[in-house]
Structure 1
């Protein structure tokens, strides 16, 4: 059990971390674009892509909320060992991780007028991730893009809060896509 906690992080930390960071930033800059990532082998139920995102973005100063289905001792230990990120309640989290139907979106910080960047980034573990479904428009999208979202209303409501709002990263197996608060969903 202890070995599983120590393993599964980036093998070549500087190289893997830089590739992962670029992949996450590319996804954020190009909403709806699906990007493949490698380098993490986290314990279940976390996908490889979600593991890469956690290893890349979380650190001792970024509190993370784990939804009930992802809140396991093995995953907590893995996150603590590899990132040092503290665990938090939804209202205090800078990152949130879990399945869509387990995430209390209304409880996460959407930032403040003075500091809109102090909002949460929600990492949504999905069963599927494809360029079909909801239409996306906005910065980083040439004309239109499409992404398989769990619903549309929550993202429309989120975009209406701009410059406040949540940013989303969707993960599935070794793939991820992002949906920043600036993206319009229909």
Structure 2
């Protein structure tokens, strides 16, 4: 059972190939914002860390990566130990110091401006947020324009804060500053890079 996993269990069985497969999925999703991309998470972390969120952490984080966890994940000693063992990342208490943030429950996503936004000269010093949502449909429809989207693309993630659309709209006005999001639901992900501008949303 996942609850019984130790820090040594549940990592990539083939670290190079597994990480490459997850990384390719992320790059495909970043290249096509708001497009759902399927990926089998090749890890089994302890609960309550969702498997694909764990796989993304193992792929994107390393010893030079400050990592922030939402309160539910941070309270789990098993999750903290698993992440440190399998990524080498330093877990930080202040979201503004994080290069990556893991949010296990999307509805509890903190305000986007709590995270590093980068600067005009160094926009790459911003945070990437990996956010678990309930599903990629059933929520309020959000329509985006962005490089990589032909015309417009609509996605309706279920399980984000009620004010997410207004927060995202405000955040992207600071482009090239701002955060990037990787949304995760089950065995699929979708990316919202900071270049994705919200054009329409459900009233």
TM-score, length basis structure 2:
0.86
Secondary structure at 2:90 match in 1: coil
Task: State whether residues 49 and 173 of structure 1, in contact with CA within 8 Å, keep that contact through their aligned partners in structure 2.
Answer: yes
Q: CA offsets per residue over residues 73-96 of structure 1, 9 Å max, x none?
A: 111001001000001111110011
Task: Report the secondary structure of 1:162's partner residue.
Answer: coil
Number of aligned residue pairs: give it.
186
* Alpha-carbon distance in structure 1 between the residues aligned to 2:136 and 2:51: 14
* 1:165-176 aligned within 5 A: 165-176=178-189
Shift of 1:13: 1.3
- Cα–Cα, structure 1 residues 174 and 64, in superposed 2: closer, same or farther, change >3 Å? same
CA contact (8 A) 2:29 2:36 kept: yes
Q: State the distance in 2 between where 1:60 and 1:130 align.
A: 35
User: Is the 1:32–1:177 Cα contact (8 Å) retained in structure 2?
Assistant: yes
Unaligned runs of 5+ in 2: none
CA distance in 2, matches of 1:142, 1:102: 29
How far the C-alpha of 1:155 sits from its partner, in A, is 1.1
Aligned to 1:36: 38
Superposed CA RMSD in Å reads 1.7
- Structure 1 residue 111 and structure 2 residue 118: aligned? yes
Q: For 1:128-173, what per-residue CA distance to the aligned partner results, in whole angstroms no more than 9, with x for missing partners? A: 1239711111111112111224331111111101010000000111
Residue matched to 1:62: 65
Task: Give the Cα–Cα distance (whole angstroms) in 1 for the partners of residues 113 and 123 of structure 2.
Answer: 16
Equivalent residue, structure 2, for 1:183: 196
Q: Which runs of 5+ in 1 are unaligned?
A: none
Segment of structure 1 superposing worse, 167-176 or 103-112: 103-112
- Counterpart among 59, 76, 87 of residue 83 in structure 1: 87
CA displacement 1:74-123 (0-9 Å, x = unmatched): 11001001000001111110011113324242221100121010000011
Partners of 1:94 and 1:119 within 8 A in 2: yes
User: Of 81, 90, 97, which aligns to 1:92?
Assistant: 97
